[in-house]
Chain A
Amino acid sequence: MNQAVITKTLPLVEVHGVCQTYDKGSAGKLIVLDQVGLTLAPGEIVGLLGRSGSGKSTLLRSIAGLIRPSEGAITFEGTLVSGTPDGIAMVFQSFALFPWLTLLQNVELGLEAKGVSPAERRKRALSAIDLIGLDGFENAYPKELSGGMRQRVGLARALVVHPKVLLMDEPFSALDVLTAETLRTDLLDLWSEGRMPIESILMVTHNIEEAVLMCDRVLIFSSNPGRVVAELRIDLLQPRNRLDPAFRALVEDIYARMTARKDAPARDGVFPGTGIAMVLPRVSTNLLSGLIEAVAAPPYVGHADLPPLAASLQLEIDDLFPIAETLQLLRFAELAEGDIQLTPAGKRFAESEVDARKQLFAQQLATYVPLAGHIRRVLDERTNHKAPARRFRDELEDHMSQDYAEQTVRAVISWARYAEYFAYDEESDLFSLDNPT
């Protein structure tokens, strides 16, 4: 009896001082995860919440044994993780079903790898399919199923191997709102009724409400580098009500923590890297001016609380934060404590006509986006006012990965085009100063 109680409290997963760094070029390392620790005990659902680039998916993959952390240790039931341990299964954001296998074959696959006999395999797969509400579709191929049903298959495939720990990587974010909610509720029902053969769930999400709805504990990650900045216990009783004031207060609290200023001057720290080596998000100028207008307009008139703003714009944080942070980078707005406030420049932008907006945007771009200023200076210096984009991409690749360099250059191109700060020709891959008029 006593023995049972003790084993119950032993953690399933322990993560100690895990760092994940990404070597790139002469500029040293990009730190994805910095000294992250967590424990996962039986009987709990834990959420890893953070913006994109906070390393939460990287951490999940390290626990799954898909990535070996650069530093630190991860154990599952006391044993160091190297390769996926027996007892851990995973559900993917993209479902990751094999399109050439039927639903039944997809579910049976993990059992086949475990060496379960064909008859037993079929029996267990059918019962998992039944549990997850997919009976009748056994012989369907994934592409015949809707997104929600595909994710149910992903869930059945994970449950059928009877894992102790279920890892879920943004399992509902590729689904429409309604389907996602149904699936969350079904999963919570199965969990609370104890009908799933699992002891613990660790899920990555960027959706604050989802985390508050499902988790017993939430770890909030900061970005660049990814660190655990806060840990919240959520003691609300299941089933939880999104409209409950206590629920709302928790959501609000998490928003505030996720936008809290660090002690260091936050502005250049918003995006990874400094100076021209800053990784920029691809945010269209339509979204930027759209958000400025939304915040400038009543009821916010220049100052908005993020949760209601996100709700009224029907955006999730992964959509809203890059826009807000780009505005912050351009000094059109300030972010703090879960609020967004327009700067004088932001207000002027909101009140201006198209041409004045472009001028203002160009000014902010020149002053606050080092890469844009750098490209412009090179163009100004050259007699023909042309420069290959390749050159800047190469320059960036000394500091960041190829994908990030590409994304950053794309971001600068779209902003500069809008501001008519400089032009870019896709065909020749050249920057130039000749704006077609």
Chain B
Amino acid sequence: MSLWGVVETVFYLSQTLGWGDVVEAFSGGLLTLARVIVLIAVASVIWVPIGVWIGLRPAVAERVQPLAQFLAAFPANVLFPFAVIAIVATGASPSIWLSPLMVLGTQWYILFNVIAGASAFPSDLKEAASVFRLRSWTWWRSVILPGIFPYYVTGALTASGGSWNASIVAELASWGNTKLEAFGLGSYIAKATEAGDFPRVVLGTAVMSLFVTLFNRALWRPLYVFAERRMRLD
């Protein structure tokens, strides 16, 4: 069935599009991939320590957790025009500065999963870490990072999937007549949609699905399996 669908799609596209289109979609995909990786990494560096700090303080976590979940549900694209205005005003490069919009709405998945992980960290292990006076880097490396890892993977996986989708609205952002574009698979799909160019929409979407699936297979799944095997607390 699915194989037949692939054959159908390829046949349909080959009638209207050439290899040039495929190359364009794939190079856009590579660029968007690079953005996703960099942004998830940056968001992790920021939110993991903050999430750990919050999660280990139940009183704070109780207040912040609903807020993080609200932010994850908040339609981030409502804020995009502000970014457009700021980029135009400062003359910054859209290729770089439109990118953060991709994680604007999805970074919160990392935050609230890390908070959940740190809150669930077993108290006997906390006590052991304290009795043996594990501090600073030893504590991060041997105690808390492995402890929250399964939660972090869940959050980062969700965030990265969401960021791919967000790229469609983030890489082509507009406010009034101002239109900014960052070359990538997201803007490729967005432009095709705007133009009602059905074959390119199909091609772009197919390439994005392929990238997301391969990315999950190559990175997140192995991390998941590793977390399950090694980091599980039982």
Contact = CB atoms under 8 A, between A and B. Distances in A.
A114 B132 CA distance: 9
B231 A100 contact: yes
A84 interface: yes
Contacts of A112: 134, 138, 142
Residue in A83, A97, A99, A141 with the greatest tally of chain B CB atoms within 10 Å: A99
Contact of B127 (A92, A101, A114): A92
Interface string A81-124: 00110101110111111111100010001101110000000000
Interface of A: 61, 64-66, 83-84, 86, 88-90, 92-101, 105, 109-110, 112-114, 141, 143, 157, 161
A101 B132 contact: no
B231 A90 contact: no
A113 B138 CA distance: 7
Could you tell me the dominant secondary structure of chain A's interface residues?
loop
B3 interface: no
Contacts of B230: 99-100, 141
B132 A109 contact: yes
A61 B133 CA distance: 14
Contacts, number: 68
A95 B127 CA distance: 11
Contacts of A114: 133
B142 A96 contact: no
A157 B132 contact: yes
Interface residues of B, number: 20
A110 B142 CA distance: 11
21 contacts: A65-B131, A66-B127, A66-B131, A84-B131, A84-B133, A89-B132, A90-B127, A90-B128, A93-B124, A95-B124, A97-B128, A98-B125, A98-B146, A109-B134, A110-B132, A113-B132, A113-B135, A113-B138, A143-B234, A157-B132, A161-B132
Contacts of A84: 130-133
B122 to A, nearest CB: 8
B124 A92 contact: yes
B143 interface: yes
B127 A100 contact: no
A144 to B, nearest CB: 12
A65 B127 CA distance: 10
Contacts of B146: 98, 100
B57 interface: no
B141 to A, nearest CB: 10
B134 A61 contact: no
A90 B131 contact: yes
B233 interface: yes
B232 interface: yes
Interface string B193-234: 000000000000000000000000000000000000011111
Given A84-B131, A84-B133, A109-B132, A99 B233 contact: yes
A66 B130 contact: yes
Contacts of B131: 64-66, 84, 88-90
A277 to B, nearest CB: 24
Contacts of B134: 109-110, 112-113
A99 B232 contact: yes
A370 to B, nearest CB: 31
B132 A98 contact: no
Nearest to A99: B233
Nearest to B233: A99
B127 A109 contact: no
Given A96-B125, A97-B128, 13 more contacts: A64-B131, A65-B131, A66-B131, A89-B131, A99-B233, A100-B146, A105-B142, A109-B132, A109-B134, A109-B142, A110-B133, A110-B134, A113-B138
Contacts of A90: 127-128, 131
Contacts of A161: 132
Nearest to A101: B142
B231 A92 contact: no
A86 B132 CA distance: 9
Contacts of B143: 98
Contacts of B132: 84, 89, 109-110, 113, 157, 161
Nearest to B127: A66
B138 A96 contact: no
B135 to A, nearest CB: 7
A73 B142 CA distance: 33
B127 A98 contact: no
A96 B131 CA distance: 11
A61 B123 CA distance: 12
A94 B127 CA distance: 11
A92 B233 contact: no
Contacts of B233: 99
B129 to A, nearest CB: 8
B124 A94 contact: yes
A97 B133 CA distance: 15
A259 to B, nearest CB: 31
A98 B142 contact: yes
B228 to A, nearest CB: 12
Contact of A113 (B125, B133, B231): B133
A97 B143 CA distance: 10
A90 B131 CA distance: 7
A94 B122 CA distance: 11
Given A89-B132, A109-B138, A113-B133, A99 B234 contact: yes
A93 B127 CA distance: 12
Residue in A89, A98, A157 with the greatest tally of chain B CB atoms within 10 Å: A98
Contacts of A99: 230-234
Q: Which 7 pairs across A and B sit closest by C-beta, in order of nearness?
A: A110-B132, A96-B128, A96-B124, A100-B146, A90-B131, A94-B124, A113-B134
